[in-house]
Structure 1
Amino acid sequence: MSRHRHLLLTTLLVTLTPAAFAAQPLPAFNGDAAQSSVSGLSSGAFMAFQYLVANSASVKGAGVVAGGPYYCAVGNLPTALSCMNGLTPAPAALLASAETFELMGQIDALSHLAKRRAYLFSGTSDSVVQPAAVEAGDAFLRLAGMPDAQRRYVGTLPAGHALITPAFGNACDANKTPYISHCAVDDNGYDQAGAILTQIDPELKPPSADIPAGRLVAFDQKPFTSWRARMASEGHVYVPRACERGEPCRVHIALHGCKQSSKTIGDLFYTRTGYNRWADSNNLLILYPQVDPTPMVNPSGCWDWWGYSGADYAWKGGAQITAIKAMADHLVSAPLPSPATDAAAIRQRGAGLP
């Protein structure tokens, strides 16, 4: 290759690379936005709790792994740190705050929680978020009217601060990056993604084969966010083949913890935590929104559960809650496909084409 042609090719590659690798728009499929659910680890767990309470009219349930009750930080970082250490405000006082927000129209009616379901987890070796914080979350839901039969609290596994998988990650009692660990229960690996999803919906089918058959999509989060949300420019979603074919699907939102965004640990959270195997066999779109580290304001890339995005952070109108819900709703906003008019589009999506 001549030097001139080499320079021309290099120039073209430099010019085209940003566009070639740019995240695509978030796709839309057929489904019901009122059948969504949410779960998360650590800051993602606190956010999952907030999201459930704020949007209880349209969220079936939540999985809370190493996270505390709604409004635990009461809008400031020092109280948030105390909450992680188990020195939470009284659940009754937090519920009173939620009742005030309800009267103000800032969150959905708390009476919806009586029909919702929740999974809560604290590892006995967790050195980051103390069990008392998770227990306070369980107490909050009980006081808010969620029956005992619809709540499951798991607090006996010798796990550290992590999302637990059957075989991937650190040793069970680890408290270190990537905050994904494997634990054994009765000679079997503990499938926490499955425990969360089946608690929210006990009628789920067993998970699919070890290798998920759907596709992961990197999408542009910017149309759904604002500067206050301080979220990453790119998020991810796992799309089962059934959803590509136009079958009705539901959304489960999986929220990473601090120091766990894709900028920090790559693809591990959205490929190795176990959600995608359950998605394939149950028509679940798994939405993996992302918050990247921000110097000074949010250096660990945590979801906002103490107020860095604004005083309304725990309300339906909060910057991050609004963004997450807009993404989740959009994912199932496509109309039912018509066999005559949409067959070609369905085949195209099934082939993985844009």
Structure 2
Amino acid sequence: MRLRNAFLVLAAATGLAAASLSMSTAAVPAPQPGGLGRYDITGTYVSGLSSGGYLANQLHVAYSGLFQGAGIFSAGAYDCAQNNLNTALYACMDTYQVRKTPAELEQLTRNRAAAGSVDSPQNLAGDPVWLFHGGADQTVDRVVNDDLATYYRDFGARVAYNNTTAAGHAWVSPIGSNSCGSTSSPYVNKCGTSDPVGEMLGHLFGQVNPAASALSGKLVQFDQSGYVPGGNAAAVSMGREGFAYVPRACETGPCKLMVTLHGCYQYYGLVGNALMDKGYLNEYADTNNMIVLYPQVTTMAGNPRGCWDWWGYQSAQYALKTGPQMTAVVNMVKAMSGGQPPTTTTTQPVPECVTASNYAHTTAGRAYAVAGQTYATGSGQALGLWNTFTSSSVRQTSPNYWVKC
């Protein structure tokens, strides 16, 4: 939905327009009060929609030594908003204002890594990243989502990008409650027989078993305050309750951990268990040894729609390792993995660099020349003069996509 007046602008800034919600009987189990237990976690991943997608990217970038891959529905590149609501509104959702280019945000990431405020972006090389943008999504512009794909590819991540489904601004699932092109509460859509969730998990994990037809695990409801800096979840716009779906097999055996972050207007206090029930993650969790952690945000001053902090409404450090919401989620992850980073699973090897003259790069298809200058194929990164004397080093991060080493 386009921004037509001040009210709609605010709604878009925080994510999604309000709509009535028809609650249905959930297939997900009733929550059981308890705490986050320790498990044998073999790998940690993060996924999210909209504001949750932005936070998923922030977590993956800031804690790239901890998170091994990301699945993101409809969001832009790391810290696009630059701690400014107007920039978030007009540059990182709509594009009426100039936004930072992926290259500029990549350099910002490197600078922050050098200062120790985020992990080294070298950790992103080889990580699986799955991205989604619906053809009917008018909340976050396609070119903003394209920036996220470029950002990840330039750091060497293995990117898969689904941008051909005619979906609205929503999480898309085979059991979604809304029509495919809808942008309305509870923002879980169904697009025929397509299964983006299975597609996402298959890319992140390499392969997946078919989803379960009925759930056998438990849904744990825990107090989030114990993981928040200062011990007050509401102070950082997080809800009192968080949730974790734990399959029976994960009680005693090794499992992966998926952190899933809801979008604006999609938090538990407003839509109940809609995402946990219809998101189709638990069904895959049961058959693929995967725990799903569902942290929750709520509303506060500056955040009336219950969005994750991706523009600085709660803290100017929102995109750093010291960001309060980021710290809280990571504290949950560490608690579930026994306080230690999870064991690293086997990943694809980082592509090797190819060093050659710029002329040789162009004849091999690794680069192209324009007006005497050479540019990497796919990324368009400048490599210098086009001749046999100027050399550069590039590597291929996906088919026909080359970046500087």
- TM interval, short-chain normalised: 0.7 to 0.9
2:35 aligns with 25
2:203 partner amino acid:
Q
User: What is the correspondence of 1:1-354 to structure 2 with a 5 Å cutoff?
Assistant: 23-32=33-42, 35-82=43-90, 83-86=92-95, 88-146=99-157, 150-184=158-192, 189-208=193-212, 210-226=213-229, 227=232, 228-244=235-251, 246-294=252-300, 296-333=301-338
Amino acid aligned to 2:255: C
> Structure 2 counterpart of 1:114, which letter?
A
Quote the Cα distance in structure 1 between the aligned partners of 2:146 and 2:75. 9
- Distance in 1 (CA, whole Å) between partners of 2:339 and 2:325 is 23
Output the CA distance in 2 between the equivalents of 1:65 and 1:252: 15
Indicate how the Cα distance of structure 1 residues 334 and 135 shifts in structure 2: closer, same or farther if over 3 A, else same.
closer
Q: Which amino acid aligns with 1:154?
A: N
Tell me which stretches of 4 or more aligned residues in structure 1 moved more than 6 Å: none
The 1:22/1:169 distance shift into structure 2, 3 A limit, reads: closer
Q: CA deviation at 1:250?
A: 1.8
Which sections of structure 1, spanning at least 5 residues, go unmatched?
A: 1-20, 336-354
Task: Tell me, yes or no, if the aligned pair for 2:35 and 2:220 is still in contact at 8 Å.
Answer: no
Give the C-alpha shift of residue 238 in structure 1.
Answer: 0.2
Which amino acid is the alignment partner of residue 202 of structure 2?
T
Greater share of residues in helix? 1
Partners in 2 of 1:138 and 1:334 — Cα distance? 32
**Amino acid in structure 1 at the alignment position of 2:53:** A
The answer to which structure has the higher strand fraction is 2
Q: Distance in 2 between matches of 1:252 and 1:152?
A: 18
Cα shift readout 1:88-128 (whole Å, capped 9, x = no counterpart): 32111111111110010011111011121101111010121
The root-mean-square deviation of aligned C-alpha atoms, in Å, is: 1.7
Conservation of the 8 A alpha-carbon contact between 2:77 and 2:144: yes
Contact 1:88 1:133 in 2 (8 A): no
Gaps of 5+ in 2: 1-30, 341-405
Residue deviations 1:273-323, cap 9 Å, x none?
Answer: 0000111111111000000122x3211000000112211111111111111
Which residue identity does 1:313 align to in structure 2? Y
Aligned to 2:68, what secondary structure does the other structure show?
Answer: strand
- Per the TM alignment, residue 31 of structure 1 is displaced from its structure 2 partner at its CA by 2.2
Q: 1:308 to 1:22 in 2, by over 3 A?
A: farther
Residue identity over aligned pairs, in percent, reads 36
Amino acid in structure 2 at the alignment position of 1:28: R
Judge conservation of contact 2:201–2:207 (CA < 8 Å) in 1: no
Distance 2:248 2:175 in 1: 25
Give the direction of change, closer, same or farther, for the CA distance of 1:22–1:253 in structure 2 (3 Å limit): closer
Please say if residues 31 and 334 of structure 1, whose CA atoms lie closer than 8 Å, have aligned partners that are also in contact.
no
* Equivalent position amino acid for 1:314 in 2: A
TM-score of the pair, normalised by structure 1: 0.82
How many residue pairs get aligned? The number is: 303
CA distance in 1, matches of 2:161, 2:40: 33
Moved more, 61-70 or 193-202: 193-202
